[in-house]
Structures are given as C-alpha cells and as structure tokens.
Amino acid sequence: MGNFGAVIVAAGKGTRMGTRESKQYLALEGKPIIVHTLEVFSQIPWLQEIVLVTGREDVPRCQTWIQDYRLDKVSAVIPGGSERQQSVYEGIKQISSEWVMIHDGVRPFVTQEEIESCRDAAIREGASVLGVPVKDTIKQVNGKGQITGTPDRQSLWAVQTPQAFRLSDLRSAHESAALDGFTGTDDAMLMERAGYPVTVVEGKYSNIKITTPEDLEYAAFLQKRKGENLE
C-alpha cells in the first residue's frame, strides 16, 4: 500500500452562513469545526501527513489550535489562494507522500471507514471520490426558470470529499488546468478533464458540508448523536 497524505482545505469565507466568522471556525460543541475535521484524519494510523490550507490571516490561530489539540500529524499550515483550486494546489505542493486525499475542512462527520474505502478504491482504480446517490428528482432549468430536461436519477450522484489521487497525477491535472485558465468545481473534475478515470465510492448522507445556518443546526444534532454512540 502506498503512503498517503491529506490536504484539508479551509480557506473559504462562506458568505451563505451569514456570520462574521468564517464557517470553518464556528464552534461545534465548544470546538472549532476545523478542529473536529482535523481530529478525524489525525486519528488514522496509516495517514502520514496533513497539510491545512487556510486564510492568510487565520494561519496563526490555526497553528495555535494544532498545538492546543495536539494534532501532531499536521505538518504545515499554509495560506491558500483566492479560489479553492489555487488553495488545493498550494496544499499539494507541500505533500511528500505518493498519494493524497483532498478534504473539505467543513465536513467533520466523515468516518474512518469512509476514508479507508476511498483509499482502497484509489489504490485499486487510480483515483476515487466519496459520493451518495441523489434522493431528489433533478431538473435542468434555463435562464428563464423553465425546465429543459430531467436526467435519469439512477445515474446521478452527489459528490463529497475526501477525494483520493496519486499525487503526481493530481499535480499534473492542476498544472494543465492552470495553464489553460480552466477552473473546476472539484479536483475530480480536473482529473476527468486530464483524462484520468475516477471511481465513485458510496459514502454516507451524514458526511455533510456545513455551509448554511440550517447545516449548523443539523451538525449539532449529529455531533450530539456521535457523542451518545461513544458512551
């Protein structure tokens, strides 16, 4: 099995949360959301290193949390770019492992089992992402708000993180996209564009991305339930 590192991306401002504080630093059960996320990855025995990418002004407090919560696997805390894609690229430049996982800092409920499934699929197939089948009927809509099509729901998945790749492949995909001025919505999209096949691994619906106030309320419920299961 190849060695793995992880890049945790937490450089966004998150305007949809409606708070002055960035969403990744909001408290969840008395602890910043980003710390919850880092703890999940820090407890994985086979993970070699973690790079945290954050806003330039947030680097000092994140470094303090790394020390306070003894997150020893975090090898670097670095400032990101103006876009997520740039932040990921800055992060992977700090990784020395053969394989890398990219994960959203505001997805604290991913489990070790999901992460391991993603790892195994990447090693077997070359690249993988966590995802879940969509529950709702999806409609394509034009600029006038009119429905133009209804894709087959059985073929639609909502993609999550982590996403796992061979580091050299991901760097190549990022550099190709940057050279062409292309911006993707996630790293899998850059890999697809570069011609690499990516396998979807079924995850859990509880692996939410905390983006809105409603997400924060649901996150508090999930955290409480998680605590009860550990008792």
Global pTM value: 0.93
Give me the pLDDT at residue 120, please: 97
Domain positions in the chain are 4-128+159-230
- The predicted pLDDT at position 20 comes to 63
Q: What is the pLDDT of residue 17?
A: 52
Counting as low any pLDDT under 50, the low residues of the chain are none
CATH of region 4-128+159-230, choose from 3.40.50.300, 3.30.1490.100, 3.90.550.10, 3.40.605.10: 3.90.550.10
What pLDDT is attached to residue 179? 97
DSSP string for residues in the chain: ---EEEEEEE----GGG--SS-GGGSEETTEEHHHHHHHHHHT-TTEEEEEEEE-GGGHHHHHHHHHHTT-TTEEEEEE--SSHHHHHHHHHTT--SSEEEEEETT-TT--HHHHHHHHHHHHHHSEEEEEEE--SPP-EE-TTS-EEE---GGG-EEEEEEEEEEHHHHHHHHHHHHHHT---SSHHHHHHHTT---EEEE--TT-----SHHHHHHHHHHHHHHHHHH-
According to the model, what pLDDT value does residue 229 have? 64
